[in-house]
Amino acid sequence: MQAARRLPDNISPRRDLWPAIAARIAADERQMERQDRWRPFGMVAAALALVAVSSLVTIWVTDDPAPRVVHQISPGGMAVPARSAPLAAGFGAGVTLGPRYERARQELTQDLEGRLEELPEPSRALVERNLQQIRAALSEINAELSKDPNNVLLQQLLLAAYQDELAVLMNVNKMVQTLPLRTEI
């Protein structure tokens, strides 16, 4: 019976069931207008964005000793190519980012491209400069990782930097969507 205790008590379903659940909850909500709700995207949206981002990243690590770059993925270019060079998303030699992550990253980068126009110029430039800093950090870590692919600290920091980038993309995106710049008649 000890064998039973050792059986995994945590099994992933074959597919992501959340969308179906979310759809039913949304249908519910439309039916019962909750008066007391704090909308629109919840108080802890920022923290959750970070937690949710973690689950988007699946890292495939090969312990192939011959260092090589397995997969080069470039995100959608920024609106003003002169200011920011496209970045090959990698995790150092032999490591790639999962497809869900890449998709989120590309979509957000493209969304942001369009939205940045709506920010006042100094802020727009600032966002681009800061994203450049994150991407420079990503390059630096990737470069170090290609020399030392099994370095756990580098892998963790690289992951963190990707999460930071995604979080900035998400946060600035959301911010611009909700700015009080336009007016309704």
Minimum Å gap between C-beta 31 and other proteins is 11
Identify the burial level of 138 via C-beta atoms within 10 angstroms of its C-beta, where 0-12 means exposed, 13-18 middle and 19 or more buried.
Answer: buried
Task: Select from 78, 87, 89, 172 the one that contacts other proteins (CB under 8 A).
Answer: 172
Residue type at 32? M
Return d(Cα 177, Cα 109) in angstroms, integer: 14
Residue 5 touches other proteins, criterion: CB under 8 A: yes
159 binds other proteins (CB under 8 A): yes
Contact between 31 and other proteins per CB under 8 A: no
Under the binding rule (CB under 8 A), the answer on residue 103 touching other proteins is no
Question: φ, ψ for residue 125 (rounded to 5)?
Answer: -65, -35
**To the nearest whole angstrom, how small is the minimum distance from the Cβ of residue 41 to other proteins?**
6
Task: Give the C-alpha distances (Å, rounded to integers) separating 16 from 23, 44, 174.
Answer: 13, 23, 24
The site for other proteins, by CB under 8 A, has a size of 89
Q: Which of 30, 31, 48, 90 binds other proteins (CB under 8 A)?
A: 48
Q: Taking the complex as a whole, how short is the minimal distance between the CB of residue 166 and other proteins, in angstroms?
A: 11
Instruction: Give the Cα separation of 2 and 169 in Å (integer).
Output: 48
Residue 143 interacts with other proteins (CB under 8 A)?
Answer: no
Mark the segment that binds other proteins (CB under 8 A) among 72-80, 81-89, 102-110, 172-180.
172-180
Minimal distance in Å, beta carbon 77 to other proteins? 20
List the one residue from 30, 36, 67, 88 that touches other proteins (CB under 8 A).
Answer: 36
All residues at 6 or more sequence positions from 164 whose CB lies less than 8 Å from its CB, including other chains: 134
Longest dimension (CA), the chain: 70
Q: How far is the CB of 94 from other proteins (least distance, A)?
A: 8
- Please, which residues have CB within 8 angstroms of residue 124's CB and are 6 or more apart in sequence? 116, 117
